[in-house]
Amino acid sequence: MGIPPEPQRDAESLRGTRRSSRRLPRRAAAGRRSFTSTLTALDELARTGAKVSVRVTDLDRDVSVLDGDDFVTLPVAGLGVVPLLIEVAAAFDEGRLDPLEIVERSDVADVSLGGVWQHLAAPALPVSDLAVLTAAAGDTLAANALLERVGLPAVRARIESLGLAQSALLDRFRDDRGPDDAPHFALGTAREMAQVFASLVNSQVVSPAVSAQVAEWLSLNHDLSLVASATGLDPFSHENDQHGLLFVNKTGRDRGVRGEAGVIAGPRAGVAYALIVCFDDLTVSHRLRAHDAFRVLGVDLMEYVH
């Protein structure tokens, strides 16, 4: 793990409308910009045998302020829907896909890992609603429907066009993976996941319209239980925070896999972040130890941006 020297804060923020002119005294700011607690938590995880990949990039300076094995490719579970959503938004924007096209649930490969569509009475939904369910509720059935509609080759081509050389969407969501199935839904690195979110908020993913659409979907995410738990935001309504906190994220969960990537911006700074942890999910204690590391990072990020 490593932290480069603190960058000079001499450039205008990309999110100037959400930032105040107030600045902390230099010594106070330096004391609050440390990721020491995060490094300690992640080192403890690594000593237990967990694989850890982390990246935090200051958006104003485009420099890493925290990184550790951020180039290592690991399973990312539901984080893999981000490039899928990008391809869906691009298809909407280019007219290749009608947002109101109806998809029948009975035509979609069945999966019950998570989400709400499987519990709804509606047997069919428009593609745009499926994108909302995928982003907001981690709906695996909705994600499978989107993947079947745009096609895995198109998503893989989109990943390549985004320059994500170490990321891949391998398969649809499945309740069980047999010997003939891909071992994981998706792979990625903390560096590339953070890069995608930075590009989204800077309107650099495909086009400003596509970036805005994907960011809007992801801003509805209900899972604020990991890094985002430190924000104090309402999981069900956090698009327009009264304290001026800009927050967009996506999480990924599978057995022995936890991942989160996003953007958080406050009055002092804005960062793109990603943390992926692969661990032996042997007991509740093992799982909670991994979750605690995400929450420690969340606290450090809040101190950094505020």
Asked whether residue 50 is domain-assigned, the answer is yes
Q: Would you place residue 33 in the very low, low, confident or very high pLDDT band (cuts 50, 70, 90)?
A: low
Asked whether residue 238 is domain-assigned, the answer is yes
pTM score: 0.88
Question: How confident is the model over 254-304, as pLDDT tens digits?
Answer: 999 999 999 999 999 999 999 999 999 999 999 999 999 999 999 999 999
Asked whether residue 3 is domain-assigned, the answer is no
Q: Which of 12-26, 149-163, 271-285 has the lowest mean pLDDT?
A: 12-26
Asked whether residue 9 is domain-assigned, the answer is no
Q: State the residue range of the domain holding 288.
A: 16-305
Residues in CB range of 86: below 8 A, 6 or more apart: 158, 162, 196, 205, 206, 210, 214
Q: Is the pLDDT of residue 174 over 70?
A: yes
Q: Is the pLDDT of residue 5 over 80?
A: no
Residues 97, 91 contacting (CB under 8 angstroms):
yes
**Averaged pLDDT, 221-244:** 89
Structure tokens at 169: 């969407």
Asked whether residue 1 is domain-assigned, the answer is no
Asked whether residue 107 is domain-assigned, the answer is yes
pLDDT at position 26 is: 33
Asked whether residue 103 is domain-assigned, the answer is yes
DSSP reduced 3-state for 265 = strand
Q: Is the pLDDT of residue 122 over 50?
A: yes
pLDDT at position 9 is: 34
Asked whether residue 6 is domain-assigned, the answer is no
pLDDT at position 124 is: 98
Look over the chain and give the mean of its residue pLDDT values, rounded to a whole number.
89
Alpha-carbon distances, residue 94 vs 72, 87, 99 (angstroms): 34, 10, 11
Alpha-carbon distances, residue 149 vs 50, 103, 119, 170, 264 (angstroms): 36, 9, 21, 16, 32
Q: What is the dihedral of CA 78, 82, 88, 89, to 10 degrees?
A: 140
CATH of the domain at 88: 3.40.710.10
**What whole-number percentage of the chain has pLDDT above 90?**
83
* Domain tally, the chain: 1
